[in-house]
Amino acid sequence: MSIVLAIETSCDETAVAIVKNREVLSSIVSSQIAIHRPYGGVVPEVASRHHVEMLNDCIDRALTEFGGGWDAIDGVAATCAPGLVGALLVGVTAAKTLAMVREKPFLGVHHLEGHIYASYLSEPELQPPFLCLLVSGGHTSLIRVLGCGEYETLGSTRDDAAGEAFDKVARLLNLSYPGGPVIDKLAKIGNSRTFPLPEGRVSLPEGGYHRYDSSFSGLKTAVLRLVQKLEGEEEELPVADIAASFQDTVARSLTRRAINCALDYGLSKIAIGGGVAANSGLREHLQAAAKQHDLQVYFPPLKWCTDNAAMIACAASEHLNRGHISPLTLEVRSRLNLTEVMGLYR
C-alpha cells in the first residue's frame, strides 16, 4: 500500500494528485485549453510557461485537499514521457526536487501507462489480463495488459490519432478547439445516417485488411470533400449531421477493432482510456457490441479519461508497491515505446 503524489505536465493540463493505490485522496487539474484555443492547438512554449506559473499553486492545493502532510506520502512521481519535452521537464524537475527535499523515492511515469490505469480509479477489482483501448489526442492503441509494466501493443493508427481526427474535422467545420467535445455535443442533435463516410482500413501486403490497426486520414479527406461539395452548392452547412456521421464512423471503426482484438486474444475485459473515451458515440457502440459478445467493458468517469494526475499517481503506486524506483538522473523523452517502461526504473 503506498500513497503517491504525482505531477502531470505532458501537454496542456497542469495536474497534481495524491492517490493511495486506487483511491484518489486529492486531485487538482488546471487546464490551459482556453489559452491555446485561439491558436487552434497546443503551442509548446506557451504550455511550458504556464506549467511553471501554475504548478506550485496546484501542488499546494493538492496537499491542502489531502490534509495528511508530507509524512504520510511514500513517493513523488511525474510523467516523464511521451509528451512535449519542455512541458515534461517542468513536472519532472519539480517532482525530483520534492523527492530530494522530502527524502522520498522518485518515479517517472509513462503517460500512456497513466491512461491504462485510469480504469483502476473507478474499478477496485479490475486486474490484468485485459485489453486497453487507448484513444487520446496523440494515440490510438490497442494494448494487451498482462501485468504492471508488461504491455504489448497489438494495434495502432497509421496516421492521425482518434482525438487528432476529431480536432482536425472540427477545424474543417469551423468549430472550436478541442474538437472532440464540440463534435460530440453536435452529434447528439444530428443524424448519423445523413452522410455515409468511409471507415478507413489498413491493407495488408498479403491482401485483406488489418484487424486492429486504424487509419483516419481517408475519413478526414472524405469529410473535407463533403464540406467542399456542400459549400459549392451554397447550402448552409449541415454541421450537426456531418458531426454525427463522422462520430458514428469513428465509433464503429474503433469498436470493430477493439472487439476483434479482445476475441482473437481471448481477453474478456476491455478498459478504455484517453480523452476520446469521453465520446458518447464510442461508449454506445462499444457497450452494445461488448454485450453482444459477452465481454466486460470499463469506461472510467470523464474526469479520469482526459489528462489528470490521479491516473499517473495510480500507475506510480503500482510500480512503487513492487519496489520500482527511478534514478534522479532520469531524463524526459518526447517519445517512448510502452514496451520500454521498465527501463524507467532501477
For residue 248, the partner it binds in ligand KG4, Zn ion, none, with Cβ less than 5 to 8 A by kind, is none
Grid look-up 496537499 returns: 63
Q: Which CB, 63 or 145, lies closer to ligand KG4?
A: 145
> Which of 6, 276, 314, 330 touches ligand KG4 (CB under 6 A)?
276
* Using rule CB under 6 A, residue 91 touches ligand KG4: no
Residues 306-325 binding ligand KG4 (CB under 6 A) are 306-307
For residue 278, the partner it binds in ligand KG4, Zn ion, none, with Cβ less than 5 to 8 A by kind, is ligand KG4
**At its nearest, how many Å lie between ligand KG4 and the CB of residue 195?**
18
**At its nearest, how many Å lie between ligand KG4 and the CB of residue 261?**
20
Site stretch for ligand KG4 (CB under 6 A), options 47-55, 74-82, 222-230, 272-280: 272-280
> Which of 8, 113, 160, 184 touches ligand KG4 (CB under 6 A)?
184
* Using rule CB under 6 A, residue 179 touches ligand KG4: yes
Site stretch for ligand KG4 (CB under 6 A), options 21-29, 34-42, 51-59, 180-188: 180-188
Binding site for ligand KG4 (CB under 6 A): 11, 136-138, 163, 166-167, 178-181, 184, 274-276, 278-279, 306-307
